[in-house]
Structure 1
């Protein structure tokens, strides 16, 4: 069952059920990883766009370009597969970080805090503040993990000999949000997540 259908099903079920009072020692109900990520990602201010197939993904990407007037603009993208996939949108792909937006894949989607795990595989040796303020991330539902340590374990297993450097997370997507000391040094991004169903 797709992520979108499960989300709709659980919201309908929770609306129809009456709230049951449990004692204070009753274990908390654990949300599935996909629901937890969606909740935390939206709470952080990210724009979550779910796609069931590639046709829908291209349509959603086209809508993002229309909404932001990003046609005929420069796009910072180092992934050759992404440049060929989104080639028909009249964009200029560059490896300069002063582009209009950053188009990339990611290592993992971390459910616990709704963040996106990136490494030098996606952004070379650039720091987050050096990337464009607008970011479009392409990911699949199989990249959902519960914690950052799970994401790091996947990176370690995939890159057996050479672990990528510059591993970081993007988790701050609202510029208006008041900062606390935990978010000091993080740079705010206007982030769109294109999530493709692949399970």
Structure 2
């Protein structure tokens, strides 16, 4: 029994990506049975990480039909993309509609400048994005991230975990040219303070007298 074989069994049985911490906990938590004792009860996360890398290389060298991939949530076994046309025959489903160019542009602005208000995105694009923003939220690519601490407290938007999975990213730092584009100055919406009410103006005048 080897550590890589145990990890392979866990990944094969899992219904979702497994983090190194989850894999380590599963290995440590196994109880002795008729097949033997748990000799990996003190395994370390660093050892699991090294075994994962070893397993990944082995699959590549052996030219297997599946591969070990690292996603934002953890590690997962997946079929090699070159076999996709055959695997798809087992899971017939309508192809999802592609995002339009305006939607992709809006998504890119949010991804690189998040959290960001709708008005700031519109300042960059120069057009209203209500419909596009709704589409991105319905697709699960964008979500509300709170409110901005400016007059009117507009909603802030950011990308989701599904966004990372969809584009094969582990985190936002893997976005192309991320540092350069984050530093670039882009147009922002003009913040206008709400007008004072007649009551507050009158109160201020009375107080000054």
Give TM-score, length-normalised by structure 2: 0.21
* Structure ID, larger Rg: 2
Higher strand residue share: 1
**Which structure shows the bigger proportion of residues in helix conformation?**
2
Higher-RCO chain (CA-CA 8 Å, sequence separation at least 6):
1
TM-score (norm 1): 0.21
